[in-house]
Amino acid sequence: MVRSQPGALKYKSKLGFEGLPNQAWTTASVKDVLKQLGGELIEILPPASRRELEVMAWLRDPSFVGKVVTVEIPEPKLTNKPPESMDEYEAMQFELGEYGPSSPRKKNSLLYPDICHMKEVVDRGPLLVEGLPDE
């Protein structure tokens, strides 16, 4: 707490993500995207179409949200079919060596450019203009 500064997510915002791949329509993926934007997920709204996903989120600074955001999704794992014959099995064992496959050296992911629409921002801060009615 010595080097910290007070921070708050002041702006309740409605965002629309257009072009998200099907694998990214999960709560975890949306939370990751919002974390990159300096925000936190409130709820995922029921989609009106498969083209755009709308969410409600708390944001620290809505002006930080760009028109295009990058969504990173882990690369899907390819399923290996079991060998059909003993010859295929022996060939596979020869390729893998005596100890089996080694651990991967990197984690592959896919990057998708996604269009982000800022639909609504609710600012609950004080009014900066004097003399206006509270309504």
DSSP string for residues in 6-58:
-----EEEEEEEES--GGG-SHHHHHHHHHHTTEEEEEEPPPSSSSEEEEEEE
Of the candidates 16, 43, 33, 14, which has an alpha carbon nearest to the alpha carbon of residue 122? 14
What pTM did the predictor assign? Answer: 0.63
- C-alpha Rg value of the chain to the nearest Å: 23
Q: How do the domains of the chain map onto residue ranges?
A: 11-99+106-123
Q: Name the residue type at position 93.
A: Q
CB 118 within 8 A of CB 62: yes
pLDDT digits (tens, 9 = 90+) for 68-110: 888 888 777 665 666 677 776 666 665 555 555 566 677 788 8
pLDDT number for residue 105: 73
